[in-house]
Amino acid sequence: MDTFWGPDFDALRREDPEIAEVVLNELDRQRGGLQLIASENFTSPAVLAVLGSTLANKYAEGYPGQRYYGGCAEVDRAEELGIARAKDLFGAEHVNLQPHSGASANMAAYAALVQPGDTVLAMDLPHGGHLTHGSKVNFSGKWFHTVGYRVRQDTELIDYDEVRDLALAHRPALVICGATSYPRLIDFKAFRDIADEVGAYLMVDAAHFIGLVAGRAVPSPVPHADVVSCTTHKVLRGPRGGMLLCREPLAARIDKAVFPFTQGGPLMHAVAAKAVALREAALPEFQWYAHQVVKNSQALAAGLAAEGMRPVTGGTDTHLALADLTDLGVTGRDAETRCEQAGIMLNKNAIPFDPEKASVASGIRVGTPSVTTQGLREGEMRQIAGLIAAAVRAGPAQLREIATAVSALVSEFPAYPLPSPDLVDV
């Protein structure tokens, strides 16, 4: 049997025209504007085919060879392939592909490593951390005693001396590094040494940059961490979902923490789509792409700086940049709204020591995974910086003109169909 029974858009259009319209409008939205949200990307047609496949029907609680349902031979094979690919790509001793998201992966990592009430040392959210790194509105801040470390005010870089001092003072059971809006490389060895000094586990939340690790564009946390938690849909360009990598002695604890402790049935269409993305990430063209993501981000940060939007830390080593709009007298919230009206999707973001509340914020975060997948390069990044600057300063009439310029630019680099890998230099 080699017939694929997959997405049938005409059937959707007939059966549910309202949702069909949403799907088409969203495709237009993604293709019609500049997607600069640092945590988004455009997945390949192969990933989308698996997500829309009949694997979505299968219940498979458990792990390959040890399921609580019959009929799991094919999904076992998909999960085993994905695990083997992730182990090869990252040099990991053990991999769990079942977390439904990055937050689910982090919850399972906590469950495997610490007990409620334990002390966790992690980056403060306003300094670049994540909700699951101890925010009071999240399980991590409610069930664990979190001590937050911050960046230095003068350099806006992680203050490793402060991290060590806090670790010695509070003796955490778990140290977390990894961030959502920190544009620089993280010194994993320094964190490992600090964790070892106080007898703590080290978890690296690599959700944002694991795709850069896969593409060999930034150093890997895998040799240093007890557990690496990730998402699969950011720079890595796979389906939405999570993944955990760990050392062999923690394998059983991690697996039990994912299922049955924090999750039930895995989403096997997503697990198989992760396997597809992991194969794509091992190809030579993915390395070209990952390096280009960083070059684009650096060009975009430099372009924003030239327009009076100060890059936090002075620039970036990764796929994202954080720009401080204070000198322009525009809040992050207003900038996000104006940019959206001009067809430029980005997000407001707190900057370190931000005087504004998070819902207003003094900065914007921009990321280059999506535009790099589309085929844009440094020259276009300089154009984009100019378009962002114009939008941030613009009134309603000018926003329409900027939106026209954005449409003209993206029409030369359509997202779907994506550019063929043959067209890139590898």
The correct pick among 39, 43, 262, 370 for binding ligand DSN (CB under 6 A) is: 39
231 is a catalytic site residue: yes
Check residue 363 for interaction with ligand DSN (CB under 6 A).
no
Other beta carbons less than 10 A from residue 391's beta carbon? 24
Q: Which of 43, 132, 146, 231 is catalytic?
A: 231
Q: Inter-axis angle of helices 396-411 and 378-393, to 10 degrees?
A: 160
* Residue matched to tokens 């796979």: 238
Which of 292, 283, 258 is CA-nearest to residue 375? Answer: 292
The H or E element containing residue 174 is strand 174-177
Q: What residues from 100 to 119 belong to the interface with ligand DSN (CB under 6 A)?
A: 102
With H, G, I as helix, E, B as strand and everything else as coil, classify residue 26: helix
Q: Which is nearer to ligand DSN, 102 or 239 (CB)?
A: 102
Residues in Cβ contact with 78 at an 8 Å cutoff, skipping those fewer than 6 apart: 55, 268, 271, 272, 275
240 is a catalytic site residue: yes
Q: Which of 58, 164, 234, 274 is catalytic?
A: 234
Check residue 332 for interaction with ligand DSN (CB under 6 A).
no
Binding flags for ligand DSN, 163-192, as an x/- string (CB under 6 A): -----------------x------------
**Peptide bond before residue 116 is cis, with ω within 30 degrees of 0:** no
Nearest-approach distance from CB 54 to ligand DSN, in angstroms: 29
Nearest-approach distance from CB 171 to ligand DSN, in angstroms: 28
Check residue 33 for interaction with ligand DSN (CB under 6 A).
no
262 is a catalytic site residue: no
Q: Which is nearer to ligand DSN, 106 or 331 (CB)?
A: 106
Bridge-based pairing state of the strands 320-324 and 363-367 = antiparallel
Nearest-approach distance from CB 366 to ligand DSN, in angstroms: 12
In one-letter notation, the amino acid at residue 291 is H
- Judge contact between 410 and 34, C-beta under 8 A: yes
Check residue 126 for interaction with ligand DSN (CB under 6 A).
no
- Residues serving a catalytic function are 59, 61, 205, 231, 234, 240
Tell me which residues touch ligand DSN (CB under 6 A): 39, 102, 130, 180
